[in-house]
Structure 1
Amino acid sequence: MQQECVVCDFVSSDSWVILSPIEQSIKRKIDAVGTPLKDWNIQINYGIKTGFNDAFIINTKKRDEILANCQTEDERQKTAELIRPILRGRDIKRYEYEWADLWIIATFPSRHYDIESYPAVKNYLLSIGIERLEQTGETHIVNGKKIKARKKTCNEWFETQDSISYWEDFSKPKIVWGEISDKSKFAFDFLGEYIPEATSFYMKGECIEYLLSALNSSVSEWLFSKVGTTTGVGTIRWKKYTIEQLIVAKLSTEQLNTHLAAFNDLKVGKMSITDFECFSNKLMYDIYKLTSDEIQYIENQQTF
């Protein structure tokens, strides 16, 4: 114990973690120049909870079937705008995502949709039995599986469970990530195409292009492995509260411009993900003024 012990100073009321001397040195450097994400001008929100995924989340074949049942071109166009592509936590990788060909019927309560204006959607939802579940609380059989009744809400039977006020954010560029992962896996929705599902989160606000790099960097992955919460089986919970506690350094104007140029190269395919990762890691090492020994320590760690 005398040979392996370390001395740690716990001088604040913040949660504490036992670190080795080299780890303490790294964390001191991060703390000295970094700012917790909760103090950045950003917003982090949960993905959408439908209350009944078997009905509201559909594949492309079912979407095309619903659109084919529209009686007019106006109805078809409105219905196509209502059914949006969705990303689940498992679909999101590091810097990229693999869309699973899934869509959400985005009848958010805060939008106050008139279901009579979407007869093809209404008929589909009635065929699933949502109205009956809402009224009776019975179970229902979908694709051979028994589905429990939806959670009781004040929403209309055809609406999703979440009555979100931030639905406009889904159409904007944003960082998306899954709640549970063994590694940092943050991706960028460049065009605001996707709605994140309940097993994922999204971030919008200032410098999110840079924050994508910072969150995926080896430094942040190492730090989060020390201060984040685990599932108990070797994976990390990348939840809103813990992400907000993560400390990230802000860049100078010159550094931001340099990063933005590299990010734009990544966006248009002029830079590979591998090269962008190397660029981002070097940027973070330089910001925190880590020594070669500290860099090697981080890169040699089996973080999770």
Structure 2
Amino acid sequence: MKEWDVNIYRGILTGYNEAFIINQETRDKLIAASSKNDEIIRPILRGRDIKKYDIHFSNLYLINAHNGVKEKGTKRIDVVNDYPVIYEHLKHFQSKLESRSDKGDHWSNLRNCAYIDIFTGPKLIYPETMRLLKNN
């Protein structure tokens, strides 16, 4: 893989999926309330959605309230000031989000992810790396 200049990444860890991963209905409501919300709501695939030669999109979306990447000059998403409708959604989960051990600068942000920008580009996907370690 290294010869092909390919990197393997883990994905996005939210620390509390119930707040940041939303269904189609919630997505539609958030965007109907403010079309600006579409800027940070992205379709998401989970490992269980990926099958051999196929994907099954479960109509789930990520509120990508990332924490920015200081080294790359990527600014943190300011949910409170720039996305007030999403902030109201996240406030329902505030106590759980505040108690995450791994969170962004503000409780409404995702944890730091140095490779957040790669999620917008093309990618190879696979459901898992290994099921069982076997001695050959």
Give me the identity figure in percent: 34
Partner of 2:108: 158
Match of 2:90 in 1: 125
Q: What stretches of structure 1 move > 4 A for 4+ residues in a row?
A: none
Matched residue, 2:42: 84
Which structure dedicates a bigger proportion of its chain to strand?
A: 1
**Long gaps (5+) in structure 1:** 1-36, 71-75, 138-149, 181-227, 233-304
Distance 1:79 1:41 in 2: 34
Cα gap change, 1:153/1:83 in structure 2, threshold over 3 Å: closer, same or farther?
closer
**Other-structure match for 2:31:** 67
1:100 lines up with 2:58 in the alignment: yes
The 3 A distance-change label for structure 1 pair 63 and 89 is: same
SS in 2 for 1:79: helix
Separation in structure 2 between the aligned mates of residue 129 and residue 65 of structure 1, nearest angstrom: 17
- The change in CA–CA distance for 1:134 and 1:170 in structure 2 (over 3 A counts) is closer
Pick the structure with more helix per residue. 1
| Deviation for aligned residue 1:42 | 1.2
Contact 2:104 2:110 in 1 (8 A): no
Task: Supply the distance in 2 between the matched residues of 1:97 and 1:229 (Cα, whole angstroms).
Answer: 19
User: Superposition RMSD on alpha carbons, in Å?
Assistant: 2.1
Please give the residue correspondences for 1:246-285 in structure 2 after superposition, counting only pairs within 5 Å. Answer: none
* Aligned counterpart, 2:72: none
Pairwise CA distance, 1:93: 1.3
Map of 2:10 onto structure 1 = 46
Match of 1:230 in 2: 132
| CA deviation map 1:240-273 (0-9, x unaligned) | xxxxxxxxxxxxxxxxxxxxxxxxxxxxxxxxxx
Aligned with 1:57 (options 21, 27, 36): 21
Q: Give me the whole-angstrom Cα distance separating, in 2, the residues matched to 1:231 and 1:124.
A: 42
**Structure 1 residue matching 2:90: 3-state secondary structure:** helix
Q: State how far apart, in whole Å, the 2-side matches of 1:158 and 1:151 are.
A: 13
Give the TM-score normalised by the residue count of structure 2: 0.82
How far apart, in 2, do the equivalents of 1:69 and 1:43 lie?
Answer: 38
SS at match of 1:55: helix
1:178 aligned counterpart, secondary structure: coil
TM-score by length of 1: 0.39
* Residues 16, 97 of structure 2: 8 Å contact kept: no
Q: Quote the residue 2:121 is aligned against.
A: 172
1:262-286 C-alpha deviation (Å, 9 max, x unpaired): xxxxxxxxxxxxxxxxxxxxxxxxx
Distance of aligned partners of 1:153 and 1:102 in 2 relative to their CA distance in 1, 3 Å threshold: closer
Cα separation, partners in 2 of 1:129 and 1:165, compared to 1, 3 Å: same
Q: Which has the higher contact order (CA 8 A, sep 6+)?
A: 2
Unaligned runs of 5+ in 2: 69-74
Return the alpha-carbon distance in structure 1 between the equivalents of residues 104 and 43 of structure 2.
26
Q: How many residues align?
A: 127
